Structure 1
Amino acid sequence: MKTSTTQDDKRERAAQRIKALKGFYIHLTVYILVNCMISAVSVVGNMSSGESLIEAFTTFGTFSTWIFWGIGLFFHGAKVFSFNPIFSKEWEQRKIKQYLEEDASDINKYS
């Protein structure tokens, strides 16, 4: 009975990871499509107001959405792909060991 529960748990975790991955890919697709449209409208609008193609294309407003939304997309991807350079698994293990040692020393100190 225990192995079927373990298999069910593994299947559920795998389904959750697939759902998260699918959500990220949908987010990435929407990011690309919407930002392409926004950039195209911005470039055409800037050109109609008298700017050259290069001037219209290199305006900060043309790419500001790409930058700021891209930051959010980066963090979404980092979460989905378990990328965390600051709080890595090794860091977690060191902290667990540190807290266990501190608890042991506190117990010994008051015994």
Structure 2
Amino acid sequence: MNTKIKYGLSAAVLALIAAGAPAPEILDQFLDEKEGNHTTAYRDGAGIWTICRGAILVDSKPVVPGMKLSKEKCDQVNAIERDKALAWVEKNIRVPLTEPQK
């Protein structure tokens, strides 16, 4: 059976998990594959203006039509959003997790 079909994860993500990569690295790979990295604002499936890997705020300001960011700025925004998501997991999941499970 095709690994991607069976688990919904790419070979790259599965390889990172198998190698025991840190959660930020795994999440970055997963989100790059699923969300892409758009440097120009676009409407998501719900009609919300978003940019980079789905951010709706940049520097505490809402994403607006026509907004453009450099790849470097998107990398910064993506890191902030990733770290917020991982902090939520750390705070709310009460069972011990290995690094890749985080």
Question: The TM-score by the shorter chain falls in which range?
Answer: under 0.3
What TM-score, normalized to structure 1? Answer: 0.26
Greater fraction helix: 1
Greater fraction strand: 2
What TM-score, normalized to structure 2? Answer: 0.27
Greater radius of gyration (CA)? 1
